Amino acid sequence: MSDEATLLKKQANIDALTENQVYADPIKKLQEEMLKEFKAMRDQLAQQIDKAAQAAGSGGGAAEGGVSQKAFNDLQAENKKLKYRIVHLKAALDEQDGGYQA
């Protein structure tokens, strides 16, 4: 083989390596794969947030989510009771500890 043919073959090998993205550092490849996965997850989350915002904006969040109005009202009442209990438990702890410190 001539020098020119050898040089072209070596250049073709370098091009093939560049296209295949052979990494000297395997961590770099892993980081790039994780970045792609995170971007896909971010896009999915953004879509879900948009759908939730649209459902909340239309005022039909409970019905559109597949939850009956009665079940929604029951959960809202239970949530209200639990919040009431939390307020009083925190107050009792404040009295016991001499004040709440976050």
Domain ranges of the chain: 1-65, 67-102
Q: If pLDDT is split at 50, 70 and 90, which confidence band does 91 have?
A: confident
Say what the pTM is. 0.35
DSSP E strands, 23-99: none
Residue 33: closest CA among 43, 18, 23: 23
Please write the tens of the pLDDT for every residue from 22-73. 566 778 778 888 999 999 999 999 999 988 888 877 665 444 567 788 989 9
Does pLDDT of 101 surpass 60?
Answer: no
Q: If pLDDT is split at 50, 70 and 90, which confidence band does 81 have?
A: very high
Tell me which amino acid residue 53 is. A
